[in-house]
Amino acid sequence: MTLDTRVILICSGKGGVGKTTLTANLGISLASKGSPTAVLDADFGLRNLDLLLGLENRIVYTAQEVLEEACRLDQALVKHKQEPNLSLLPAGNPRMLDWLKPEDMKKIIEMLSKEFKYVLIDCPAGVEDGFKNAVAASKEAIIVTNPEVSAVRDADRVIGLLNTHGIKPVQLVLNRVRPKMMETQEMLSIEDVTDILALPLLGLVLEDEQVIVSTNRGEPLTLIGSKSPAARCYSNIAGRLHGEEIPLIDPSKEGTSFRDKFRRLMQTKIF
């Protein structure tokens, strides 16, 4: 079977910028378009993808047992009940870190590529072994960053490493965008970040409290058909990945109240 599988690494360098949340939401969204999709938690030390997808209680086997040939791949895959096109391959336990090598990761990805159209790899933070293993098995990448100096700096480092590994294309997702702070120029603008990192922008995700609510419940926003700002952003990104043409959200148009209009007036260039 030739699926022309897309193996996409989702990475950031810095921790806590929203890699796992993006992976979960893109996974659900792509699966809902009818494409068999697998999400792989490559963070073997500190796994969390199962928790965000609400699958933490259904894990029996992990990638570790598959590699040891203690079970078959389909036994380790956890199928999402509400979105059966999506499967999670859980990471092994932290002991696994000692012996997992890039070849092992490649083997796992090869197995997944036979079954799925999309394989999303949730990369661990940092640029050490976990990152190197994940990169070895990937073809293309999404860099997740926030409009903050530390996140952008780490993203730049990761982009350099991806370039040396020949990963192409590398696209950018700017997460946790606060339109109001951008308007008052107290936050790096979208152009600032795309100019500095020199990457094509796959999409931006607006800061949204609903993300926390959805992680509390273990139900990604894209699963419950939420109309919240972040949910819209996530499904737009999934659509673009899938080849649909969806225009970018303009954060400056997000507010329409009098206060927002006043803010825009304040940003008018005078000279």
Which residues would be at the binding site for another protein (CB under 8 A)?
148-149, 152-153, 156-157, 159-161, 163-164, 182, 184-189, 192, 195-198, 265-271
Nearest to 15 by CA among 104, 144, 196: 144
Which is closer to another protein, CB of 73 or CB of 182?
182
Side by side, the strands of the sheet bearing 37-41 are 78-79, 86-89, 37-41, 118-122, 6-11, 140-145, 170-177, 201-206
Minimum Å gap between C-beta 149 and another protein is 5
Which is closer to another protein, CB of 97 or CB of 161?
161
Minimum Å gap between C-beta 155 and another protein is 10
Structure tokens at 200: 């094509």
- For residues 237 and 162, the answer to whether their CB atoms sit within 8 Å is no
Nearest to 223 by CA among 34, 83, 117, 90: 83
Q: Residue 157, Cβ neighbours under 10 Å: how many?
A: 12
Minimum Å gap between C-beta 107 and another protein is 28
Minimum Å gap between C-beta 127 and another protein is 12
Which is closer to another protein, CB of 68 or CB of 195?
195
Which is closer to another protein, CB of 194 or CB of 210?
194
Cα–Cα distance, 240 to 19 (Å, whole number): 18
Minimum Å gap between C-beta 189 and another protein is 7
Which is closer to another protein, CB of 10 or CB of 182?
182
- For residues 61 and 228, the answer to whether their CB atoms sit within 8 Å is no
Minimum Å gap between C-beta 44 and another protein is 27
Which is closer to another protein, CB of 188 or CB of 231?
188
- For residues 261 and 249, the answer to whether their CB atoms sit within 8 Å is no
